[in-house]
Structure 1
Amino acid sequence: MKIQLRSFQHSRMSAMYYDSYDGSKIFVFLSNKIGLPIDLVNFLISQIAALCLARLFRKPLRLASPEFRHFVCLAIGLLMGYFCFGKQAVHLSVLPMLNYILMKMLPHHFMGNVILTTSMLYLSCIHVHRQLYHTSDYTLDITGPLMVITQRVTSLAYLLQDNLVRHEINSNNNMKNHVQAAKVDKIPSPLEYFAYTLAFQTLMCGPVVFYSDYIKFIEGARVDGITKDKWSQSEPSPRRAVSYKVGGSVAAAVLYLALAKKYPLTVLEELTDPTSEVSRSWSALYLLWYAYLSTLVVRCKYYHAWLLSEAICNNCGMGFNGYDANGTPKWDKMSNIDVFGFEFAQNFREAVGSWNKNTNAWLRGVAYERGGRRLRTARVYALSALWHGFHPGYYLTFFAGGLFTVASKKMRAVVRPMFLESRPKKLFYDTLTFVTTRIAMTYATVPFILLHLTPSLAFYGKFYYSLHFIALGALLLPSKSKGFSNNTTNLELQPTSLKGNKDMLSSNDNFGKGNGKLKVS
């Protein structure tokens, strides 16, 4: 009886889902055949089409005028938005149009703050609408592209503010460098602006492309502004990078399909039922292991989407980041995820810094480096949570993330120097921190995926909120002794993830040099 009831409820929710989806239903037959929802099928079709169309910008459209390249980016973006979202795609035009009017009308000295507020209010209204009227099965909706557009218009607004009001930033050396590195002297034309905000390459799932990088790509500024050097006399080909990223995207999709039915995270919702098997018989250790595998399954969806989006950027010529020491071209300027950096991180900050990297750069520019030094981390996590929406799980995750970030920094400063005396001790420390980072990340991110308050609190309750209390206890540790060397201090202040991610500081000079301390998504 219980199975029949669940089957009926699932069928009813599926019907509601189908009715609420506004995108194209041409490929419903394909959706039924492969067993994926129509919104995900449309997403895959649009991204595969974008990957193929992106090649036009490196061959037939390479020598086309900037205006025509802008037009092609905009036209394909609008068609893609309508194909995936139907009448909801109107929001893709309304939000940037509203902000463009504000850019034209507002005094320059507070343009960024007003546009950030307006964009977040608009996005918040769409988030609330989705939570009220869409079913839980509704995977892909207009909020995803609107989140990316919000990043683009706000980053552009602050860039204009910083460049057009020079007298307000002369005292800030970082911002002064930023003005020189990413100079924008005037508000873009309507074609430039709307092509930038609706460019098809990153419309669906990012990564956010900053205005200066986009303009350099459109105008063909010597491969994203990087001068050709002695290792290469011709424009480097992204073919190898595209192949690797498409292969990684396919591998992530295969892993997701293989594990999704075995480790559905929805099983953890049964923790709210004291009579369920999960509540009665699962040990805390097995629950943590199951949660780790379930969140890995969800991460595979992100890996698939982000790697494919990055391949699209590379295939059209965006993302070139110079050459390494061996003269090999690097195509990681538009990278949103460092898969191995995240999965094998040895501290919480390094893991967070490897996730959604361009969003980290956006948060640094609009929140971390704006305002006073106090509560920087709190501002960033608060804006990040609001940007994602209003599900309670987001706020539980970002509260835990902020707490763990500060606590891990304190513990690393106090504990790490004790294990640097010998190689075996350092190996033991690295292994221990890898395991604890995986535990902390799993513990913190389960509510982000469960979304709702009751199952999230039930999950934490199964562990008696132990990691929260441990993190709070870590904050009470005494400060690091002055006897430690300066080298140790420098190691603590510079997260390992920055060693391989200089694009976080170079490609995002739109927001200044940065101090390397912010790594939040």
Structure 2
Amino acid sequence: MAEAPAAPHRTTGSTLLHPLSALLGIPLDQINFVACQLFALLAAFWFRIYLGPSHASSAVRHAFATLFGIYFAVFCFGWYSIHLFVLVMMNYGIMNTASIPNIHRYSFVVAMGYLTLCHISRIYIFHYGILTTDFSGPLMIITQKITTLACQLHDGIGRQAEELTAEQNRLAVKTRPSLLEYLSYLLNFMSIIAGPCSNYKDYIAFIEGRHVHMKLLEVNWKQKGYDRLPDPSPTGAVMYKLCITLVSLVLFLTLTKNFPMAYIVDNEFLDKTPFLSRLGYLYVVTQAAKPKYYFAWTLAPCGIAQGTVKVLAETAGKHFLLSEEDSHAIVREPCC
């Protein structure tokens, strides 16, 4: 029993919250993850109110989002966060030196290649022994953003408008981003830990304060009784997501803890349990593991919504700009 606290203390990131980890009996890396997500939610309130587009320049908003994102990465993953920064800087070099006809190809090969090497190192060097919330999650998100931006840059500069679909035309990027814009898009505190992935043009519109009006102009708001463009509040969307997060947390603390995944490789379980019972337990334990992902993928967009990258506009009755992938659909396959 004396060695029980050892597991919660195991982390490559900050040990500041180790007392809380030991008190709750939850691994420290998970405590750090949740702490960063909750702090991101609070920071997003402040970001929207005091560093809104009407109070601060785009450069200040970019810098704030980037610095906080870097801090969150270092806090959660320690020196492993270097992998994130290396990947970002390598692809920034590619974006500025590669020819437009090949920029999306080079970016894809480098980003996916680096991500693949990191996954291989986890399997064959660390034997999956790093952590449950390791750096590969943010690395996958950044890889998705890098390849998305590279393709949109290729569409915007290297192809004719007639060759593009309506969606490609809308998202096409006409100029190469500056270093600050690039870092802000990939490392901003609202999405660096658990995503979701946004489009570059939508993110820049959010930073510059054009995101709400862009979408509300598509709505016939004058017929709804408004004499000017309304400024919808994200509070309703945030509270709804937080309720789902709370339910997921309760399920995680009950179901997931009562049906440990490690039991399926226990020798006694394998030797003495009938095959159908083992198959049934495998299904149950897989379902019981899902609330952890529901929690992470629902909490992450709360900070984004509060920062108003995603806005619940009551005048339109729907979410705008960014909606996280349906987490239930993502984890529907029994491979969690």
Distance 1:159 1:203, change over 3 A: same
Equivalent residue for 2:180? 191
- The change in CA–CA distance for 1:44 and 1:260 in structure 2 (over 3 A counts) is same
Do structure 1's residue 163 and structure 2's residue 151 form an aligned pair?
Answer: no
How many angstroms apart in 2 are the aligned matches of 1:42 and 1:126? Answer: 22
1:55 counterpart (45, 52, 62): 45
Aligned positions of 1:399-478 closer than 5 A = 445=334, 448-449=335-336
Task: State the SS of the aligned residue for 1:331.
Answer: strand
* Cross-structure match for 1:309: 300
Using the TM superposition, give the Cα deviation of residue 148 of structure 1 relative to its aligned residue in structure 2, in angstroms: 0.7
Amino acid paired to 1:102: I
2:144 maps to 1:151: yes
SS in 1 for 2:257: coil
Which amino acid in 1 is paired with 2:65? C
* CA deviation profile, 1:137-167 (whole Å, cap 9, x unmatched): 7212211111111111110001001111114
| Counterpart residue number, 1:419 | none
**Gaps (5+ residues) in structure 2?**
none
Residue 178 of structure 1, CA deviation: 3.3
> Matched residues in 1 for 2:290 and 2:201: separation?
30
In 2, the alpha carbon distance for the partners of 1:126 and 1:224 equals 41
Shift of 1:129: 2.3
Taking structure 1 as reference, are residues 83 and 277 closer, same or farther at Cα in structure 2, changes over 3 Å only? closer
Matched with 2:330 is: 355
Query: Is residue 67 of structure 2 the alignment partner of residue 78 of structure 1?
Result: no
Q: Residue 67 of structure 1 is aligned with which of 59, 75, 87?
A: 59
Return the offset for 1:11: 6.5
C-alpha separation between the residues in 1 aligned to 2:130 and 2:259?
17
Paired residues of 1:319 and 1:333 also in contact (CA < 8 A): yes
Q: What secondary structure, in the 3-state scheme, does the structure 2 residue paired with 1:261 have?
A: helix
Asked if the contact 1:145–1:205 (Cα under 8 Å) also holds between the matched residues in 2, the reply is: yes
Alignment match, 2:191: 202
The within-5 A match list for 1:33-432 is 33-62=23-52, 63=54, 64-131=56-123, 132-133=125-126, 136=129, 138-167=131-160, 170-171=162-163, 175-223=164-212, 225-228=214-217, 229-230=221-222, 231=224, 233-270=229-266, 273=267, 276-278=268-270, 280-282=272-274, 284=276, 286-320=277-311, 327=315, 329-331=317-319, 333-338=321-326, 342=328, 354-355=329-330
How many residue pairs are counted as aligned between the two chains?
Answer: 326
Deviation at 1:58, TM superposition (A): 2.2
Partner Cα distance (1:222, 1:280) in 2? 59
Instruction: Look up the equivalent residue of 1:200 and give its one-letter code.
Output: F
The answer as to whether partners of 1:123 and 1:147 remain within 8 angstroms in 2 is yes
- Distance, in Å, in 2 between the alignment partners of 1:316 and 1:92 is 23
Task: Give the structure, 1 or 2, with the largest relative contact order (CA under 8 Å, sep 6 or more).
Answer: 2
For each residue in 1:249-288, what CA deviation from the matched residue of structure 2 results, as whole angstroms up to 9, or x when unmatched?
A: 1110111111123212222224xx5xx345544352x444
> Taking structure 1 as reference, are residues 222 and 332 closer, same or farther at Cα in structure 2, changes over 3 Å only?
closer
What is the CA deviation profile of residues 439-467 of structure 1, one whole-angstrom value per residue up to 9, with x for unaligned ones?
xx5xx52xx34xxxxxxxxxxxxxxxxxx
CA RMSD of aligned residues (A): 2.6
Q: Distance in 2 between matches of 1:125 and 1:283?
A: 36
Q: Matches of 1:133 and 1:279 in 2, distance apart?
A: 28
Once the two structures are TM-superposed, the CA of residue 46 in structure 1 deviates from its matched residue by 0.7
Residues of 1 paired with 2:64 and 2:110: CA distance?
28
Counterparts of 1:224 and 1:92, CA distance in 2: 33
Would the alpha carbon gap of residues 45 and 176 (structure 1) be closer, same or farther in structure 2, given more than 3 Å must change? same
**Distance in structure 1 (CA, Å) of the matches to 2:211 and 2:109:** 36
SS at match of 1:67: helix
With normalisation by structure 1, the TM-score equals 0.58
Q: How big is the shift at 1:12?
A: 11
Are the counterparts in 1 of residues 104 and 154 from structure 2 also a CA contact under 8 Å? yes
Amino acid aligned to 1:309: A
8 Å contact from structure 1 (residues 241, 314) kept in 2: yes
Task: For 2:204, give the aligned amino acid.
Answer: I
Residues 268 and 331 of structure 1: CA distance in aligned 2, closer, same or farther (over 3 Å): same
Kindly indicate whether the alpha-carbon contact (under 8 Å) linking 2:122 and 2:129 is maintained by their aligned counterparts in 1: no
